[in-house]
Structure 1
């Protein structure tokens, strides 16, 4: 049997993947780190524009989330465009999404800060919420890699 990436995805699975992206965006906009942690496996692996491999939530929060979330505004995923590949047993998935946000130059002027992400997910049983096991988030080419906004964090 040939392997295919574009197999139909159960509507519940893609809805839960969109829910994950939606909830993460809520936490990013609120600069609220503590409740976002439950969306990620404790030992997940991340990398992106600002960091090489980061092992675990603590490293990702310290070296990625806390360096970015307080510096941007309006972080929103393009939820209608979320793509997913789900394993036949529906316990592992890869979600892909594009985001929009506003970054700030050193002089305070705003710029469009657009990017994309690939997130791998796992869960213990079909129908349970997805938990991220890996994230790769990166900015679109030509987007400034630093934002200089300064918002306080909730947690």
Structure 2
């Protein structure tokens, strides 16, 4: 694969839209709305397992263990970085997030991290779909949040 040195603004903006869509799903704790953002046969690195294959397993083992336990999840969209293939059908997006996590006693802590997302699409201009994700917390951030929220909170 030959990479473009300067991704086109449209491709990076499409990555920003993907990150914003995921942000909205996380904050609403809306798993169903999040599914189309990810390929059915995706592979992820997980907090709770080394590799998680298939979107349904990622939802079960990752999303459902995290999304309902955090609040105010927000990507730093202006800082999204990307690498895009010469044919513009695959790419990698990188972003940093901020959120609120909660200790067992209910006190809030800053829950910040970063993500690398491998994207694919069938045609130029189509929305990106994640085929791989690697999300990790910044050093020193507690690994588990203990909040219990629903999208209605």
TM-score range normalised by the length of the shorter chain: over 0.9
Count of residues in Structure 1 that have an aligned counterpart in Structure 2: 152
Distance 2:68 2:111 in 1: 14
RMSD: 1.5
Q: Is the 8 A contact 2:2 2:86 kept in 1?
A: no
| 1:73 aligned onto 2:71 | yes
Residue segments in structure 2 that go unaligned for 5+ positions in a row:
none
Structure 1 CA distance for aligned equivalents of residues 3 and 11 of structure 2? 15
1:24 to 22, 25, 28: 22
Tell me which residue corresponds to 1:140.
138
Equivalent in 60, 63, 78 of residue 62 of structure 1 = 60
Map of 1:49 onto structure 2: 47
- TM-score norm. by structure 1 comes to 0.94
Residue 100 (structure 2) aligned to one of 102, 121, 125: 102
In the alignment, the residues of structure 2 paired with residue 85 and residue 36 of structure 1 have an alpha-carbon distance, to the nearest angstrom, of 23
Tell me, yes or no, if the aligned pair for 1:49 and 1:139 is still in contact at 8 Å. Answer: no
Q: Post-superposition, which runs of at least 4 consecutive aligned residues in structure 1 deviate over 2 A?
A: 3-6, 48-51
Alpha-carbon distance in structure 2 between the residues aligned to 1:54 and 1:144:
21
Partner residue of 1:124? Answer: 122
